[in-house]
Structure 1
Amino acid sequence: MHIVIVGTGAVGTILGSRLQATGQCHITAVCRSNFEAVRHNGLKINSDHFGNSVFKPDYVASSVEDATNQDYSFDYIIVCTKALPALTNTVDLIRPLVSSNTSIMLIQNGIGIEDDCIQHFPQNPVFPAVIYIMCTQLSPGEIECSGQVRLIIGANRLKGVVDDHELRFERDQKHCERIRELFNIGGIDAVLTDQIQGYRWLKIVWNASFNPVSVVSGGCDTVEMLSQPETADLLCTIQHELWATGEAVTGQPLPLIPGTRSPEELCRATLKLPAYKPSMLHDYLNKRPMEHEVILKNPLELARKYKIHIPHVETVYALLVLLEKKNNRSNSNKDNA
């Protein structure tokens, strides 16, 4: 099976390496900033669960166009880039890789990330996934990963979006099951669900609370945020707002899994984990664009559509955008100095 990973950072590296380990997948990795390091030395992986290894993709591409310079088409495109619609259009990015037999799997944060792909590739299975992973790219050629990786995969129910929504759901779910089996063989805890949007909202409850608050609080990690009663209360309040929005949008209760059956449980479970700086904070500190459009703005717009009042989410979103603009100005001034 031919699979291309678009965005071979920390997440893309772990997923690509586990699929390659099955012995059933030929992996093409699209690497941009880390192309030279990966082409010459592969990617060193330090993992307390999978063991230490070096991942050498079967083909290392410097761009999407480079990845197409092969004599085969791709069965799966796995997109692991950050979702930054204002800067990168995922449809345009992957279009050269898509053929009639290609399935598109989006492993990105946020709500509504798959909508454009569904619209532009109506004949191709398009499905988002939810990943729970603790990993980071220490350098352009080295990845650190802690613990097991959990992946939740499922097709969208497109009732009201396409006429043959049930047939499309069944078709896409078969392609989800096919890749799920491969991830399981590769040692990843991958499960199939028919409630993928519920699980995406469940992750938004965490992402859209801890991520922005870590930035607007001045750079606090999870333990620091939760150890301060007032901040812990703020996080729970934001999560309740998002929880209510997710249930309104999906039309059903969010999935209940151990440790996340309520915002209070989610905060208690997070406090038991090692101190962790959310990805948005890393982006802010390194003056990179933050994923606030898909993590905060899209849920806000849906809340307004469904007449759900979420004032605390609105507040942290407004502050986050303001801080990013100030951050960008300071970076621009430094470049011009």
Structure 2
Amino acid sequence: MSSQSIFNSVIVGTGAVGTILASRLQASGRHHVTTVCRSNYEVVRQKGFKIRSTIFGDHTFHPDYVAPSVEDAAQQSRSYDFVILCTKAFPSRINSADVVAPLVSEHTSIVTMQNGVNTEDNLIEAFPGNPVFPAVIYLMSEQISPGEVVNGGYIHFIIGANPPTQGMAEGPAKTRAIERFARDQDIAKEFAADLVGGNIPTDLTDNIQGYRWLKLVWNASFNPVAVVCGDRDTGMLLADPHSRELIVNVAREIWRIGETVTGRPLPTFPGSHSPEMIVESTKKLAPYKPSMLQDHLNSRPMEHEVILRNPLDAARRVGVPAPHLESVYAILRLKASPTEKGLERGQTVPANL
């Protein structure tokens, strides 16, 4: 650990995204980094992570400590300042709050990188006194073998505290909410500065939920349509006018739902000023298989609950029609594995983390 490291941080779910974040936090010189690994534990413990990156160069990353489980990571002598959750979200199967609970103390901040919307709700409920940051990352990376990560193209990180609930009545509760937002935003600002120190372009925002919905515009359109249209990559999807039209229609619905739920226009950055622009920006990239398609092809569970069902639930609450999203979700459920089909909200299985 560098003599300048002042934070003790743990990454839960050290796949492609978790590996890049862990390596850059360590590179900032301000974080002692523990990684929780599962299938890649022995390789990483012995040899570290082999990273091939067009952004950060080819190198080997050795975490300060490699843990085979959350329980092992919790046995370290120092408590954690940051718990960074990089697992996929399957709320009907695994409660993320239960997973990270052994790592959380009264001064721990929780950063969740999970896709979809409302994935942080159970964390906020379980740890009401702790800052919980539902962050957003745009990253092209893949773990091609245990402990070997390929990264290239583009990376951007966005973080910010959840602002006070809109329409809160004046009074002590609103005052406390404003004070908490200011406290949490200061923590987010420091975390963002550390990622910048590790050479990850990072934005601090007061509209993090808007950015969550903005990312969902892509995730909820390209991901499921790639599966329901016959296991096609982005190039094949956009070359066909019918699948392209379906993607655009789903993206438009997510955009409308997001703006209605958040009560403000979705934030934008270059290439994302409209659903149509997001689709066109994807057309300029080399064709690739979205993560949900990769999971489907490898018989892994798909994140259809947080990427499709949660926004559909939100659409019904706020009265926004989403017929294309409804249809895609219905078909995707039919293509899900038998295990996924049998799981409904409230059912759980043990978390193997």
Return the TM-score normalized by structure 1. 0.95
Name the residue aligned to 2:273: 261
CA distance in 2, matches of 1:238, 1:207: 10
Deviation per residue, 1:284-320 (Å, 9 max, x gap):
0111111010000000000000111101000000111
- Determine which of 147, 172, 178 is the counterpart of 1:141: 147
The match for 2:221 among 203, 209, 220 is: 209
Query: 1:287–1:328: 8 Å Cα contact kept in structure 2?
Result: no
Please name the residue that 1:247 is paired with. 259
1:148·1:189 contact (CA, 8 Å) conserved in 2? no
Structure 1, residues 58-107: CA drift from partner, whole Å, max 9, x if none? 10001000001111011100000001112211100000000111100001
Q: Does structure 2 conserve the Cα–Cα contact (< 8 Å) formed by 1:11 and 1:135?
A: yes
What is the aligned partner in structure 1 of residue 92 from structure 2? 86
Identity of aligned residues (%): 53
Query: Which structure 2 segments of 5+ residues have no match?
Result: 1-6, 342-353
Q: Which residue of 2 aligns with 1:130?
A: 136
- For 2:266 and 2:317, locate their aligned partners in 1 and report how far apart those are by CA, in whole Å: 19
Equivalent positions of 1:320-331 (< 5 A) are: 320-325=332-337
Q: Which runs of 4+ in 1 moved over 4 A?
A: 160-163, 326-329
Contact map agreement 1:76 1:103 (CA 8 A) in 2: yes
- Alignment match of 1:116 (pick from 122, 126, 138): 122
Corresponding position of 2:11: 5
1:231 to 243, 246, 258: 243
Look up the match of 1:154.
Answer: 160
5 Å-filtered alignment, 1:1-337, equals 1-159=7-165, 163=174, 164-325=176-337
Superposition CA RMSD, Å: 1.4
Please tell me whether the aligned partners of residues 148 and 188 of structure 1 are also in contact (alpha carbons under 8 angstroms): no
What number of residue pairs does the alignment pair up?
329
Conserved in 2, the CA contact under 8 Å of 1:46 and 1:52?
yes
Q: Which has the higher contact order (CA 8 A, sep 6+)?
A: 2
* In 2, Cα distance between equivalents of 1:328 and 1:113: 18
Unaligned runs of 5+ in 1: 330-337
Q: What corresponds to 2:345 in structure 1? A: none
Separation (CA, whole Å) in 1 of partners of 2:32 and 2:313: 40
Paired residues of 1:153 and 1:192 also in contact (CA < 8 A): yes
**Alignment partners' CA distance in 2, 1:22 and 1:70:** 22
Distance 1:14 1:61, change over 3 A: same
Partner SS, residue 329 of structure 2:
helix
